[in-house]
Structure 1
Amino acid sequence: MLDYRPKMFSEASKSHASKNIFVIILCFLAVFCVILLLESIVTLIFALKPMVEELQKQGYLDSGQGISFGEIMKLSIRVSSAPKIMIPSLLSTVFGTLASIFYCRCIEMRPVRSMGARKKGFFPMYFSGLAAGLVMMSFIALISACLGITHIKLCSNINFGVLALFFIGFIVQGMSEEFIFRGYLMTTIGGSGRHTAAAVGISAVGFALAHVGNPGFGPLPFVNLFLFGVFAALCVILFDNIWGACAIHSMWNFAQGNIYGISVSGTADTESILRSVPNSTHAFLTGGEFGIEGSLLTTFILGIGIAMSLFMLSKKTTEPAEAAPAEAEQ
């Protein structure tokens, strides 16, 4: 990968952040733990009562019998998939955006624009990102259906009000993860003088590992999450702007869960327009419990996205060199 350095890296280099990569990662882990704590408090507030009711319904509280960690996880996933819990949980991820901005602005002492949050071109970038996220996920879902891996059916009694709330929730959630891993971590590493590939790779690994506790997580889901992280990072670097990646991320998740009815990174099924039902028993084709993000189809589409981004980046890198002779003649 060419060491193309966007303007945001130069802006981030003037921060008060340590240039030591180990210190950068330790600080990030501390900030990330604070974010998880804040988000979990909100989720706990909404999920505690339904969880207790579910345990009573299953007879665990009355009988005094033990319950395994796996059973607790299955119950919590089923309970948290209810819109009245999942939507507040998605909205609570705003803490990720706020904490990332606070750390970069007040601790590292660098401007928010160094995170790629630029005012200029916001609407074109964002709406283009929404379209790109929808197209990418649609390709994955429709190719899967055309190959007979899944079949897609229309849901009955669609609650469009709930879908609108999910859309808002995923707008917040997608933005949060982009600000945490690309706006904060990647630009801090890039600003430290490390090669662009290191900034992209480390932030993508961090993004993938953040999902390690999700149901169905395994080698292929890890690879695909890493590839998504690389793709999102390249989009941010290519346009020196985070908003397009935020929109791609949000629409990717919304289309996956609420348009095509596919598990989003291991979460349970919820309100959707369509429902994708697996025909195959091969997890590497369907994604298994993790959802289609854990399938080879996703690997293929993300590979194309990364290749296109690298091609556009290589053209952008050579533009100044090609323009130099013309400027010399003038």
Structure 2
Amino acid sequence: MLSEFFKQPFPMIEEAKKAKRKPNIFMLIIFCILIYLVCSLIGSLFLFIYVALVASSSGLPDSTLLSEDFNMLSLLSADEINIVSLMITAAVIAGFLLFCRYYEKRYFTSMGFTRKHAVSQYLIGLGIGAALMIVVVALLSVTGSLTFASISWSVLPVVLLTFIAYMIQGASEEIMLRGFLMTSIAARTNKVIIGVVVNTVIFALLHLGNPNIGPISFINLLLFGTFMSLYVLKTKNLWGACALHTMWNFMQGSVFGISVSGNDVASSIFHFTANKDLWFLNGGAFGTEGGLIVTVILGAALAGLIGWIQKDSKQSFSN
């Protein structure tokens, strides 16, 4: 039944077929990587400008600021570095939206940005992302992989600002990979499964440079990418995926204080101590995404999503 699901017409992909310019798969991947790299450099430039502005208002003497031993990032708090680093991924969002609209000359609906049910789909995505991570942390606590240490409500303002930053970062990856790459490849090849596989593999490969990544982490990234791809196709929009990705990262980092794909967080509401002997369950320094508990949860979520797809496919076939 899943094969039949891939054969049905998807509104996003049908819209993508109307693009005025249609580079082949090889060029699509090249364009995708180039846009990502260029926009990442632009984002880094904004970070540099922000640090320069902070430095100019710091009151430190020029001799200190220009010293080879002086690290300009030391002027920022860990929270500032985290928030600004997440927010500058807005450059990636802008890059892919502009490329689609003005180079390929296709509408944003072809990327999954539909007006119908946009708010409800986003809220549902937030709920699913939160639920998945709560289950992950609950299982890690039950197995003794994580132990609750403390709670801090004083960081709530920073946490809320970080949530906005994660909204941007989560959307950037979904727009690039599911909204642009998956729909573009599926439109060019008339094979949706190729779009799913290629964007999922690239999604995992993009994280190879993250700190402390390992084999389990890579498998979980593939599972997450596959789940997100099918979720976008099933819901026929990108809003839910952007929200789910946002909440998955936000809950893991800013709520539970766990490293997000190998990147440490500064402030979080809850604090847990990880059992180093059970790193294969809790993911160790990479965070929960590097452990087998997430493998189980993502596997179950993917199985549930496929079951939902098959159930709807059977009902459509019987009608």
Question: TM-score normalized by structure 1?
Answer: 0.85
Structure 1 counterpart of 2:125: 129
The residue matched to 1:130 in structure 2 has which SS?
A: helix
Superposition deviation, residue 188 in structure 1:
0.5
Report the AA paired with residue 108 of structure 1.
E
1:267 has 2:234 as partner: no
1:27 has 2:35 as partner: no
Stretch of structure 1 that moved more, 263-272 or 125-134: 263-272
Q: Does the 8 Å contact 1:127/1:247 carry over to 2?
A: yes
Match of 2:193 among 190, 197, 200: 197
Superposition deviation, residue 80 in structure 1:
7.8
Structure 1 counterpart of 2:316: 320
Report the AA paired with residue 37 of structure 1.
L
1:175 has 2:171 as partner: yes
Distance in 2 between residues matched to 1:42 and 1:101, nearest whole Å: 19
Residues 288 and 187 of structure 1: is their aligned pair in 2 closer, same or farther, counting only changes over 3 Å? Answer: same
Structure 1 counterpart of 2:13: 9
Q: Deviations over 1:35-57 (max 9, x none)?
A: 2112222233445789xx9xx9x
Superposition deviation, residue 318 in structure 1:
3.6
Structure 1 counterpart of 2:69: 61
Residues 41 and 19 of structure 1: is their aligned pair in 2 closer, same or farther, counting only changes over 3 Å? Answer: closer
Superposition deviation, residue 315 in structure 1:
2.8
Distance in 1 between residues matched to 2:214 and 2:90, nearest whole Å: 27
Unaligned 5+ segments in structure 1 are: 63-71, 324-330
Unaligned 5+ segments in structure 2 are: none
Superposition deviation, residue 107 in structure 1:
0.9
Q: Deviations over 1:275-294 (max 9, x none)?
A: 12112324321212111111
Q: Does the 8 Å contact 1:163/1:272 carry over to 2?
A: yes
Distance in 1 between residues matched to 2:261 and 2:312, nearest whole Å: 33
Residues 208 and 79 of structure 1: is their aligned pair in 2 closer, same or farther, counting only changes over 3 Å? Answer: farther
Superposition deviation, residue 19 in structure 1:
5.5
Structure 2 counterpart of 1:219: 215
Structure 2 counterpart of 1:149: 145
Structure 2 counterpart of 1:68: none
Q: Does the 8 Å contact 2:284/2:290 carry over to 1?
A: yes
Residues 19 and 84 of structure 1: is their aligned pair in 2 closer, same or farther, counting only changes over 3 Å? Answer: closer
Superposition deviation, residue 319 in structure 1:
3.6
Distance in 1 between residues matched to 2:77 and 2:185, nearest whole Å: 35
The residue matched to 2:298 in structure 1 has which SS?
A: helix
Structure 2 counterpart of 1:254: 250
Moved over 4 A (4+): 46-50, 78-81
Matches within 5 A, 1:291-310: 291-310=287-306
Q: Deviations over 1:270-314 (max 9, x none)?
A: 111111211232432121211111111111111111111112222
Residues 95 and 88 of structure 1: is their aligned pair in 2 closer, same or farther, counting only changes over 3 Å? Answer: same
1:97 has 2:93 as partner: yes
Report the AA paired with residue 45 of structure 2.
I
1:244 has 2:240 as partner: yes
1:38 has 2:42 as partner: yes
Q: Deviations over 1:180-225 (max 9, x none)?
A: 1110111101111242221111111111111111111122111111
Distance in 1 between residues matched to 2:187 and 2:76, nearest whole Å: 38
Distance in 1 between residues matched to 2:202 and 2:235, nearest whole Å: 22
Residues 81 and 206 of structure 1: is their aligned pair in 2 closer, same or farther, counting only changes over 3 Å? Answer: farther
Report the AA paired with residue 153 of structure 1.
A
1:166 has 2:162 as partner: yes
Distance in 2 between residues matched to 1:129 and 1:313, nearest whole Å: 17
Residues 193 and 43 of structure 1: is their aligned pair in 2 closer, same or farther, counting only changes over 3 Å? Answer: same
Superposition deviation, residue 151 in structure 1:
0.5
Q: Does the 8 Å contact 2:145/2:279 carry over to 1?
A: no
Q: Deviations over 1:229-274 (max 9, x none)?
A: 1111111100111000111000001100011110011112311111
Superposition deviation, residue 18 in structure 1:
3.2
Q: Deviations over 1:113-170 (max 9, x none)?
A: 0100011101110111111000000111110011101112223463211111011111
The residue matched to 2:69 in structure 1 has which SS?
A: helix
